[in-house]
Amino acid sequence: MRLRDVRKVKVQGKRVLVRVDYNVETSAAGRPRDVTRLQATIPTITWLLKHGAVVILVSHRGRPAGRAAKFSLRPLLPTLRRLIGRPVQFISEPVYSHAVTAAVEALRPGQVALLENIRFEAGEEDDSPRLAKRLASFADLMVNDAFADSHRAHASIVGVAREIPAYAGLLLQREHDELSTLLKRPARPYVAILGGAKISTKLHLISQLLKRADMVLLGGALANTILQAEGTAIGTSFSEPSLLKQAAGLSVTNAKLKIPCDVITATKRVRQAPHQVRPVGRIGRREMILDIGPDTLDLYGRVIAKARTVVWNGPMGVYEVTPFDRGTTALARLIGRHRCRSIAGGGETLDAIHRARADRQFTFLSTGGGAMLEFLEGKHLPGLSAVAYH
């Protein structure tokens, strides 16, 4: 698939609707907890402004039921203004109001505006033609720079692209190019690491990766479900029993598939809780698996040391709580230190990498979680197709 690159278009004097992904959490003080997704869109915004465009940013945040203040994009403005280095006008009114039309028409080249959370509008997630036409009326062309949302056929992602010319932003283009290397000819040995709690989104991906990668390493709740499917007791550990039948289809005797041989357990998921190392198969009835153990980390480290390509999505345990962050943190640093092509994605994974201060050592950090997983499965991503040559 070849994407239509916005850098090949003349944008001087044109209004450009840029779909971004600013779906970030804020602190009690109202500031973004992580600015990675905001920073990732700055190259596209800067390029458009440098070439004389009017920039109108569109994003969602959370899953609001109607117009809910806690999901407003307004708290992101100070950070966004600092990153862009110029004023950003916030347009808070509903998109169908005359005030929005007037505000957009008043914008001049070199100016930036941010619309309120697009999920406040009915029809965004249903790809409403009415909403798509309304958004398209604000601009001469559209740019998709929201890879993390490109697996969703929403109005602001695919609907607008049916109404006006649509192109890929610099971030979307790089996401596509970097991840495509994993589907084509990755440098081998190619190692894939999967963890986290969203098991249902990854089971099918494991099967696909076993065909493409040289080794697949598992951790987190994903590994718990597979252990349980094999008949191994996991105590009170988190798993998805509804997926046991599907998980049983993944044979742990496959030489390419590695699951934990030892784990860290505790009876409480709290900071500094009493904990112990347990061999897999000897987990107490009241214990829960909260991290991979030292032998597992040693095994995974030896596999990574031989790799020329590593892709990672999902932490190895409850990385937000000390001491159950050790496995994930150690893994981030091992990959970071090793000279290989290293790609990681998913909100929790990136957060863990930042906490380990290993982010600058990775080749590429993808802003996509679900989108990255679906891309690696080889699935059709509507947002990419909308800006691709056909």
The active-site residue out of 347, 368, 369, 383 is 347
Separation between Cα atoms, residue 52 and residue 302, nearest integer Å: 51
**Torsion 117-121-122-125 (CA) sign:** negative
**Count of C-beta atoms within a 10 Å radius of residue 300:** 25
145 with 84, same domain?
A: yes
Kindly state whether residue 99 falls inside one of the protein's structural domains. Answer: yes
The active-site residue out of 198, 202, 326, 341 is 198
Question: Is 278 one of the annotated active-site residues of the chain?
Answer: no
pLDDT tens-place string over residues 176-210:
999 999 998 899 999 999 998 777 778 888 888 99
Kindly state whether residue 35 falls inside one of the protein's structural domains. Answer: yes
The DSSP symbol for 155 reads I
60 with 207, same domain?
A: no
Digit-by-digit pLDDT tens for the chain (390 residues) are 899 999 999 999 999 999 999 999 888 777 888 888 999 999 999 999 999 999 999 999 999 988 999 999 999 999 999 999 999 999 999 999 999 999 999 999 999 999 999 999 999 999 999 999 999 999 999 999 999 999 999 999 999 999 999 999 999 999 999 999 999 889 999 999 999 877 777 888 888 899 999 999 999 988 998 888 888 899 999 887 777 777 766 766 688 999 999 999 999 999 988 999 999 989 999 999 999 999 999 999 999 999 999 999 999 999 999 999 999 999 999 999 999 999 999 989 999 999 999 999 999 999 998 999 999 999 999 999 999 997
Chosen domain end from 115, 142, 173: 173
220 with 361, same domain?
A: yes
pTM for the whole structure: 0.91
Kindly state whether residue 225 falls inside one of the protein's structural domains. Answer: yes
Chosen domain end from 148, 173, 198: 173
| CATH (domain of 61) | 3.40.50.1260
**Number of domains composing the chain:** 2
279 with 357, same domain?
A: yes
Question: Is 198 one of the annotated active-site residues of the chain?
Answer: yes
Kindly state whether residue 26 falls inside one of the protein's structural domains. Answer: yes
Separation between Cα atoms, residue 12 and residue 53, nearest integer Å: 5
The active-site residue out of 4, 15, 19, 37 is 37
330 with 302, same domain?
A: yes
The domain of 211 spans 185-377
Kindly state whether residue 384 falls inside one of the protein's structural domains. Answer: no
Kindly state whether residue 341 falls inside one of the protein's structural domains. Answer: yes
- The torsion defined by the Cα of 297, 220, 61 and 122, in degrees rounded to 10, comes to 150
